[in-house]
Amino acid sequence: MRTDRIGGSPNRVGGIGRVTGSQQYVADIRLQDVLEVKLVTLDCARARIISIDTSAAELVPGVRLVMTAAHLPQPVPRFGPQFSDRPIIAVGETKYHGEPVAAVAAETRDAAEEAARLVRVEYEELPAVFTIAAALDPASPLVQDPSLRAGDPLAGTNVLREHRFGWGDVEVAASSADLVVENAYTFPMVTHFAIEPHAFMAAPDGDGIAIWSSIQHPNWLQKIISQILGLPLAKVRVFAPDPGGGFGGKQHTKLEPLVAFMALRTGRPVRLILTLEETFQAVRRTSAEVRVRTGFMSDGTLAFQDVQANYLIGAYADIADRVVSKGSYPAAGPYRVPAVRIVSRSVLSHTTPATAFRGFGNPQVNWAVESNMDEGARALAIDRLEIRLRNLARKGEAFIPVDTPADGDWEQTVRRAAELIGWGTPLQPGRGRGLALGIKSGPTTGLSYATVRLLADGSVIVYAGTSDMGQGARTVFAQIAATELGAPLDWITVVMGDTAVVPYDQQTSASRSTVLMGNAILRACQSIQAQLRTMAARLHGLDEADIVVEGGAVRLPDRELPIIDVLKPGLGRLGGELVGNGEMRKEAEPGHPLGGSAAFYEFNCTAVEAEVDEETGDVTLVRHVTVSDVGKALNPLQVTMQDEGAAIMGLGHTLMEHYIYDERGRIRNLGAIDYRIPTSMDLPLEMLSAMVENADGPGPYGSKGMSEGALLCVAPAVAAAVRDATGVAIRDLPLTPERVWRALRDRSTP
Amino acid sequence: MHTFAYARPATLAEAVALLEAHGPAARLLAGGTDLVIRLRDGTARPAVVIDVKQIAELRPAIREENGRLVISAGTVMTDVASDDRVRRSFPALAEAAAVVGSVQIRNRATLVGNVCNASPAADTAPPLLVSGATVVAEGPGGTRRIPVDGFFVRSGVTTLARGELVTAIELPLPARKLGAVHMRRTRRRGHDLASVTLCCAVDEAGVTRLAYGSVGPRPILMIDESGVLADPAGSDEAKAPIFERMFADASPSPRSMRASPEYRLAMLRVLGARALRTAIDRLARG
């Protein structure tokens, strides 16, 4: 098999540029006359802005603009993907540590920084809420101005939305359950830590504007800028160079509207490259407190799941409320559960705005529900693997009523993971094993267009509005075109990241692009294949029905021709090209709790063996197994890399990552020194990634999305292994050595 | 970045003169792994930065001289960690130098810079204390030799006088056979700042030298000459009170977010016991 076709693992398209540093990120793009922007922020979370004196800052040589809310249209426009609640710059009050109150544009970064220090802001620090408990206290201040959601009965509280999902009658089920296990779990506040910090640039562009952003959803950004500036979409050109990691943190518009207004006011290009510290203040994942009550029958059969999940979101909603609803909706897991009640709340606070993060709200509830499965198994003296297999939904089973039935033979995945971890085999002293299942709903709606051009020499250009932020979309898209149109991979160019050139794509999120954009590209290729069939029929005097175009070749009744041998004579002396368009649509479903059913499920089983140093609390992962049901691996190496990457990212919130706030709502561990992410030295001693392929997904060739699965259930698997090794159950993350040490010490205290 | 003057003296005398003239408004630049970060984040705003890399006496060098190993001020951690003489005679120092920062930082950061920052968490401080190192300072009054135990005051503060800079660190080559080890606690295995850093050396005469840092304003050296700690057959019960005396001065900050005082103090004891066992074992194995 050729490695550049589907199922092969060719060298990554753009990979050499990425590893040698020649790839152009937004910060690498040098426009002439560009002004550098520095944000002005306050040293506290919530404050009333009394006055802003920019006079000293304006005297710094090279300063061209000190922008405040006063320079903007009044009332200052607000925006957001779900609620229009975020102002372009703080208006009247800051709501979180790091929210800009002014911004300086200057000829050099040094001048901008110096001037930013000289902006005098008189302010009064106000009481604020940084925790779920404080936010839910009726005596606490409100984060959001109630007028922003007039008529909402919750407007007088810090609960942005409350979501209720479920089926069956939990109370009835509870009355007949043999065992009820109830526990509370907490999930920490963590940040994405993309290696490329967020970067934004804007420049006047004729009678419109051009925006450069390290964004995952360029078309959504285009729409928001168009609305804010009152420009037609065609006059807003968004350039979205491949981001250096996104993980959900770069999905939605952040500071692009601010730099757009600064560019229009100065008439110059302006750019804002955040520092790592500023990215901590710009994006994070929702933290959560989850109380789960699980009912079992004595044979381990699940009787009910009763889940209450409070997610702490930030000062502005961004997409976080959708994270809460979509993430908590499959909280009962991939199991057959007769009665389920899920109540989840998005709770506003004076903290960094929370947003999408790989796993999209699922790891928070999965941590609680899977840990509780272990509690039930132990109480019933049933093997922890067995209790899961006993309840696991079979393929085709409607385990979530009125949603997509189980779309994989999930038992294969679980058994493979159990086999790879050596489940049930003897353990060395001081070691333990844990195993957990994770499930996530794929995209509930979607719309992707692709254009494919087969040029006269047989080379191909693919236009796709996906953002390749490291997941390898360029490579997979090129492989689809190579497979369908017969061109070698290095004869294929994939064009992305320019809304003036590339057709519309809704977004790069929810592990959708292989499935949705992949199908759009496949359809565009099929349109070209149909044109080739017509051509071949004309050239050879045949009936179209007797011609098949597939696998990069044209099959006539008596022989097979390479596509180029039909294309060249077919195009004739003038040359030209064949153009194919493809569209992939997943419509909304009115009445569905999430607005649409899952396009596919990401299903993963993670199993670990851990060794615990009881003197220090150190947890060493001796072996980490992750198995995902991927339908079909279009590029097996990339599938493994995504799986391993998600697993390692999951080790961050499991073992070490968390924001530490002070009493004024300032992030104390702002930056890389005291916010620790796993390094190569922190990896499990052995990591095994495997996949199950039954070609039963909705994507090209039976593929499913798979970039988040391996992150979903890392925490419960690791905590279960720690429990197995030590007998101690820990219900708060991360499992830092100190936290494990304390739990062990408290265990031995009589 | 804040504006500052940059000086690159060619001689020690010029550097001393500049330091004397500017006092605390001057900062020395060798590896720059601490200074450049502070210049960028604005926590250091010196009037003048004095780059000492062109001074001949400070050029990277490790040499043996009159029964001492002399490590010049320009010598970087990578070279300390890989030097055969250091590894043979001061293995704990080599171990400590090998865990400072990351590979890139160790290729730039100097041992002397680590000492002069006087961070209580400096990984090389405990092995230098245990080894009886001497800091060689050059100043307006000439050369001064300061025992490293008399050098550290608190974070960022040493007993250097105005106009003085450190030109080298001297380590007396051990007269007796000894076993030594450096250990640390961090929040992860990848590069990190220590929440406890500790060095233990046991010699053939039964003397145990133990130094530890990151649990108080400055690293601390303790010596047990009773032979109880060094006794391979000694019981934990016999050793415990001596350890407790040795650790009595530890006073970790309650404000640190890296670890609670309670955990640091507990880990000091765990590391102390583990390091002692390893040191005894290494001494026995020669």
Q: Which value does ipTM take for this structure?
A: 0.95
CATH number of B5-51: 3.30.43.10
Which of B40, B100, B189 best tests the A interface by mutation, with the highest count of A CBs <10 A? B189
CB distance from A736 to chain B under 8 Å?
Answer: yes
Does A113 contact B260 at a Cβ distance shorter than 8 Å?
no
pLDDT tier at B282, thresholds 50, 70, 90: very high
* CATH 3.30.70.360, applies to B58-172: no
Q: Which of B188, B255, B256 to mutate to test the interface with A (most CBs of A within 10 A)?
A: B188
Q: Do A656 and B187 touch (CB under 8 A)?
A: yes
Distance (Å, rounded) from C-alpha A469 to C-alpha A250?
Answer: 10
Q: Would you say the C-alpha torsion A678, A679, A684, A688 has a positive or negative sign?
A: positive
Q: Backbone phi, then psi, for A398, in 5-degree steps?
A: -85, 75
The Cα–Cα gap between A359 and A326 comes to: 10
> What pLDDT score was predicted for residue A628?
98
Integer CA distances (angstroms), A250 to A263, A268, A693, in order: 21, 25, 30
Nearest CB to B193: which of A113, A673, A680? A673
- Give φ, ψ of A226 to 5 degrees: -60, -45
Average pLDDT, chain A: 97
Q: Which residues of B are less than 8 Å from A678 in CB distance?
A: 188, 190
Residues B189, A620: Cα–Cα separation, whole Å: 10
B184: closest CA of chain A, how far (Å): 11
Kindly give the pairing relationship between strand B157-158 and strand B152-154: antiparallel
The whole-angstrom separation of Cα A530 and Cα A536 is: 10
DSSP string, B2-28: ---EEE--SSHHHHHHHHHHHGGGEEE
Cα–Cα distance between A247 and A284 in angstroms, integer?
10
E-assigned strand segments in chain B: 5-7, 26-29, 48-51, 62-65, 68-72, 134-139, 142-147, 152-154, 157-158, 165-172, 178-185, 196-203, 208-213, 220-224
- CB of A113 within 8 Å of a chain B CB? The answer is yes
> Which residues pair with residue B197 across a beta bridge?
B184, B213
CA distance B137 to chain A (A): 31
CB distance B260–A676 less than 8 Å?
Answer: no
Q: How far apart are CA B140 and CA A161, in angstroms?
A: 70
Closest alpha carbon within chain A to B274? A615
CB contact under 8 A, A741 and B266: yes
Give residue A2's pLDDT band: very low, low, confident or very high (50, 70, 90). Answer: confident
A673 Cβ under 8 Å from any chain B Cβ: yes
**Bridge partner list, A581:** A451
Beta pairing, strands A35-40 & A102-106? antiparallel
What is the C-alpha separation between A588 and A446, in angstroms, rounded? 8
* Cβ-Cβ contacts under 8 Å for A748 (sequence gap 6 or more): none
CB-based contact (8 Å) between B4 and chain A?
no
| Residue B41 binned pLDDT confidence (cut-offs 50, 70, 90) | confident
CB atoms within 10 A of CB A379: 13
Interface mutation vs chain B, best among A43, A113, A193, A616, most B CBs within 10 Å: A616
What amino acid occupies position A138?
A: P
List all residues of chain B from 142 to 181 with a beta carbon under 8 Å from chain A: none
Residues B197/B220, Cβ–Cβ less than 8 Å: no
Q: Please tell me the distance in Å from A422's CA to the nearest CA on chain B.
A: 26
Q: What is the dihedral of CA A731, A733, A739, A740, to 10 degrees?
A: 70
Find the farthest-apart pair of alpha carbons in chain A and give their distance in angstroms, rounded: 92
CB of B193 within 8 Å of any CB in chain A? Answer: yes
**Using 50, 70 and 90 to split pLDDT, how confident is the model at A1?**
low
Q: If you count DSSP H runs as helices and E runs as strands, how many of each does chain A have, helices first?
A: 19, 28
* DSSP states along A576-605: -EEEEEEEEEE---TTSTTSS--S-EEEEE
Residue A15 has a pLDDT of 92
Q: Which of A256, A583, A708, A738 is catalytic?
A: A708
Candidates B1, B191, B267; nearest CB to A679: B191
Name every chain B residue with its beta carbon within 8 A of the beta carbon of A672.
none
Residue B223 pLDDT > 80: yes
Is A669 close to B257, i.e. CB distance below 8 A?
yes
Distance between CA A132 and CA A29 in Å, rounded? 42
**Distance of alpha carbon A658 from alpha carbon A636, whole angstroms:** 33
Peptide bond before residue A734 is cis, with ω within 30 degrees of 0:
yes
> pLDDT (tens digit, 9 = 90+) per residue, A325-358?
999 999 999 999 999 999 999 999 999 999 999 9
User: Could you read off the pLDDT of A93-120 as tens digits, one per residue?
Assistant: 999 999 999 999 999 999 999 999 999 9
CA distance to partner chain A, nearest, from residue B270 (Å):
7
Would you list the DSSP string of A169-232? -HHHHHHH-SEEEEEEEEE-------SSPPEEEEEEETTEEEEEE--S-HHHHHHHHHHHHT--
Residue A510 to residue A443: CA distance in whole angstroms: 6
- Across the interface, do A681 and B189 touch by the CB < 8 Å criterion? yes
Residues of chain A with C-beta less than 8 angstroms from the C-beta of B189: 679, 681-682
User: Is A708 marked active-site?
Assistant: yes
Mutate to test the interface with B, among A108, A118, A615 (most CBs of B within 10 A): A615
Where would I find the H helices in A614-736?
636-651, 709-712, 714-726
Q: Which domains does chain A have, with CATH numbers?
A: 15-22+446-586 (3.30.365.10), 31-126+195-245+249-282 (3.90.1170.50), 287-443+592-748 (3.30.365.10)
Q: pLDDT, tens digit, for every residue of B179-208?
A: 999 999 999 988 899 999 999 999 999 999
- Give the residue carrying structure tokens 């590979």: B103
Ramachandran assignment for A699, one of left (phi > 0), alpha (psi -120 to 50 degrees), beta (any other): beta
More confident residue, A34 or B3: A34
**CA-CA distance, A673 to A675, in Å (whole number)?**
6
- If you search the block for the tokens 């504006």, which residue do you land on? B3
What confidence category does residue A586 fall into, taking pLDDT thresholds of 50, 70 and 90? very high
Partner residue facing B263 (CB), from A117, A681, A741: A741
Residue of B nearest to A669 (CA): B257
What is the chain B residue with the closest CA to A619? B188
pLDDT, chain B, mean: 96
The tokens for B156 are 């960022």
What kind of fold does domain B179-285 have according to CATH?
Answer: Enolase-like; domain 1 (3.30.390)
User: What distance lies between CA B208 and its chain's CA centroid?
Assistant: 19
Q: Nearest residue on chain B to A738, judged by CA atoms?
A: B263
When CB atoms are compared, the residue of B188, B193, B257 closest to A679 is B188
For the stretch A426-478, pLDDT in tens is: 999 999 999 999 999 999 999 999 999 999 999 999 999 999 999 999 999 99
Q: A738 touching B, CB under 8 A?
A: yes
CA distance A681 to chain B (A): 5
Q: Which amino acid is at B223?
A: I
H/E element, A64: strand A63-68
**Omega before A127 within 30 of 0, i.e. cis:** no
> Model confidence at A749, in pLDDT bands (50, 70, 90)?
low
**How far is Cα B167 from Cα B59, in angstroms, rounded to an integer?**
9
CB–CB of A681 and B258 under 8 A? no
Between CA A626 and CA A418 the distance in angstroms is 10
Name the burial class of residue B260, with classes exposed (0-12), middle (13-18) and buried (19+) by CB atoms within 10 angstroms of its CB: middle
Q: In chain A, what residues touch B266 (CB-CB under 8 Å)?
A: 741
For residue B224, the model assigns a pLDDT of: 97
Q: Is the pLDDT of residue A135 over 70?
A: yes
**Residue A246: pLDDT above 60?**
yes
Measure the CA–CA gap between A446 and A597, rounded to whole angstroms.
11
- Residue among B1, B186, B187 with most chain A CBs within 10 A, to mutate: B187
Domain boundaries, chain B: 5-51, 58-172, 179-285
- Residues of chain A with Cβ-Cβ distance to B183 below 8 Å are none
The chain A residue lying nearest B190, using CA atoms, is A681
Q: What percent of chain A has pLDDT over 70?
A: 99
The whole-number pLDDT of residue B286 equals 81
How many C-beta atoms lie closer than 10 Å to residue B154's C-beta? 12
Grade residue B1 by pLDDT with cuts at 50, 70 and 90. Answer: confident
Residues B122 and B148 sit within 8 Å (Cβ to Cβ): no
Q: Which of B185, B257, B263 is nearest residue A660 as measured by Cβ atoms?
A: B257
Whole-number Å distance between alpha carbons of A334 and A331: 9
Half-sphere exposure of A307 toward its Cβ, with a 13 Å CA cutoff? Answer: 40
CB contacts < 8 A (A, B): 43
State whether residue A748 sits within 8 Å of chain B by CB: no
pLDDT for A220: 98
Chain B: residue whose CA lies nearest to A671? B41
